[in-house]
Chains A and B, each alone.
Chain A
Amino acid sequence: MSRNLIRQLKQLKHGEVSPRAEWLKESRSVLLSQIKNTISDIPSVRLLDKTWSALSIFLPKPVVYNIVRPVALLLVVVITATTAYSGTVKASYETLPGDWLYSAKRATEKTQVTVASIMGDKNTETKLHVEFAKRRAAETRQMVQSGDPGRSAQLTATVADLKTEINSINSKLEETKQNSSNMQAQVVKDVKQNSEEIKNVLQEVKNNLSVSTTTADKILSKEVSETKDLIKDVSNNALEVMVTKHLEGDLGISKEEVKQEISNSLRNSASDAVESKQNVDGAKTAMEAAKTEVKDLVGGGQNNLGLATKEITDKIATVANQTVAAVIKTEAGAAELGKRITEANVLLNNDDLAKAVDKMKEAGQVTKDMEQISDNTIEKTQTVLPIVQVIKEVSAVTNGGTLPNSSTTVGLLLLISTTTTSTNPTSTTAVTTTANLPKSPVLLEDPKLIK
């Protein structure tokens, strides 16, 4: 009965109760025309609203408007915030002290160091310090090259920061000396390599600064020299740690690497010494030339400088004597250095690494002394040479505009102010100095070492 009833009900669909076909057609077309009439009145909805309403066809409306929309909004906010933050940090990498985002850069760096030290990861910490020291050095170089006088205070601060970083690296190395498991071999090598780079950058800064005659730059130049000495210490310390590690049987550092590094250091010392010596020789030549020139002018009675003349000639003579003394000292230094380097090379050939490092350090000390002498000499000549220049100009004016020997003088002034030696008339001395020094490149070509 029941099944029969249901069958009958189902059959209704096809028969009696279906709509007429013609009505269906007619009603459809009427409906479409009515619909089309209303479409033009519909206000255009914004795209975003359209998206939500479209989405609410597939998901329940409360879900779309209470969950999906807030979550999407939150995502947009979070993404914007994070990309803005990382963008700032990224942009700040290129900044210099005094720039807008520089503080952001420093803050990021401080956070990195703090996190590393909290984690107790000495390797990462050292790496970070090295990286930051590199950045400070690069910043210093950039600022000096730009030559913006308004930056001098920031420049001093940056150099001070650089010193702090270098000291941090040094203390980490000292710790490692006590307990060599503190640092990985790779990190020590990294320190060594980067300290060389920093040293080169600082040398460049120093060269740039030596052109300038302002007091601020002179002070800064001294600071840079000190920093350079510090980084040399770091380099030496790193090398020492490398040797210790190697002797303790750390496989991360091979004997060849240590030897290579020691010979590199020796070569650097030698070339630094050559440079110092050339500077001092150049200063001496310039001073001698100035002395004779001034003597000629004064002796010829062609000046109106009056009483000051004697004082000036005396002063020039003193400085000239000092340069001569400096030349003697540097020559002695070069000889000393030559001895040390030869000894170090002998020790290296005998595989006595620890002693070779000691010799290398001694050689470094000698170079440092020579640089000191060179710096002092240049400074002294720079105090005198402008006076000579003035005297000449004055006498030129009194002589009716002819400038005696002007080309020589300008050339000499240039010579003093730059430490590049390739085009310098004292290249003969340079050659002799190099001849005095041991042939360190031989070390590389020694077949016994490149096994």
Chain B
Amino acid sequence: MSSTIAEKLLLYKLRVKQDPEAYAALYDIYVKQIYRFVFFKVSSHEEAEDITSEVFLKAWHYIQDNKEIKSFSGLLYRMARNCIIDLYRLKASKPEVYTEEPVEIGDGGQWYADLNTNIEAKKIIHVLKKLKQEYQEIITLKYVDELEISEIAEITGKGQIAVRVTLHRALKKLKEIMAQN
């Protein structure tokens, strides 16, 4: 609750005083979440980075147009989805060779330290990417970004009950795929 009030105050500063620092603070809060959200839907870190930057720039222009904002996070996620859709369309018109996730070589000691988790993570990302878009989105929002059901409902444009049901099915499907592997 306090975080939403802080967010509202930042938005107020942004709208009334045109304060770029306030927007930077909002960026700091949401950039990781949006990045992850994008990353699960695109093939590479590079694309995810590009799209995330684009999302934040678009959101800034949206605020400048003085349009209504119910929830800033909701706005960001909606914009991210649209940007991803745009990317898919672009890819569809310009076929591209699908490359496997490149192995991170320069990760140094970190890679060794998190070796076990990293392998696990890679496995689960692989599985997640096999899920259909809808399931993938809800699972990442719920468990990776740890959002509330109400927030997810807002982002995806569904009812809360529909979100719960989808989440349940997505989890079931995920388990199935894991079992198959």
Q: Please indicate whether A and B come from the same complex rather than being unrelated chains.
A: yes
Counting chain A residues whose Cβ lies within 8 A of the other chain, the interface size class is 35 or more
Pairwise interchain contact A12-B53, C-beta atoms closer than 8 A:
no
Query: Chain A at the B interface: mostly helix, strand, loop or mixed?
Result: helix
Pairwise interchain contact B117-A11, C-beta atoms closer than 8 A:
yes
CB closest chain-A residue, reference B39:
A17
Counting chain B residues whose Cβ lies within 8 A of the other chain, the interface size class is 35 or more
Pairwise interchain contact B171-A2, C-beta atoms closer than 8 A:
yes
Distance of A60 Cα from B49 Cα, bound (Å): 32
Pairwise interchain contact A9-B15, C-beta atoms closer than 8 A:
no
A-facing residues in B44-91 (Cβ within 8 Å): 45, 48-49, 52-53, 56-57, 60-61, 64, 66, 68-70
Across the interface, B175 reaches (CB within 8 A) one of A5, A34, A54, A60, namely A5
Given the known inter-chain contacts A12-B121, A32-B20, please indicate yes or no for A57 contacting B174, CB distance below 8 A.
Answer: no
Pairwise interchain contact B61-A38, C-beta atoms closer than 8 A:
yes
Contacts of A60 in B (CB 8 A): 70
| Shortest Cβ gap from A374 to chain B (Å) | 81
Distance of A239 Cα from B97 Cα, bound (Å): 116
A-facing residues in B122-181 (Cβ within 8 Å): 122, 124-125, 139-140, 143-146, 171, 174-175, 178
B-facing residues in A1-50 (Cβ within 8 Å): 1-2, 5-6, 8-13, 15-20, 23-24, 27-28, 30-32, 34-36, 38-39, 42, 45, 50
Interchain Cβ contacts under 8 Å between A and B, 25 examples: A5-B175, A8-B124, A10-B143, A12-B124, A16-B118, A17-B40, A19-B35, A19-B48, A20-B45, A24-B31, A27-B52, A28-B24, A30-B53, A32-B20, A34-B60, A36-B20, A38-B60, A38-B61, A42-B18, A45-B66, A53-B16, A56-B68, A57-B8, A57-B11, A57-B12
> Taking beta carbons and an 8 Å cutoff, which residues of B are in contact with A?
8, 11-12, 15-16, 18, 20, 23-24, 27-28, 31-32, 35-36, 39-40, 45, 48-49, 52-53, 56-57, 60-61, 64, 66, 68-70, 114, 117-118, 120-122, 124-125, 139-140, 143-146, 171, 174-175, 178
Apart from A1-B175, A57-B11, what are 14 other A-B pairs with CB-CB below 8 Å?
A12-B36, A16-B121, A17-B35, A18-B36, A19-B48, A24-B31, A27-B52, A27-B56, A31-B27, A39-B18, A42-B64, A54-B15, A58-B8, A60-B70
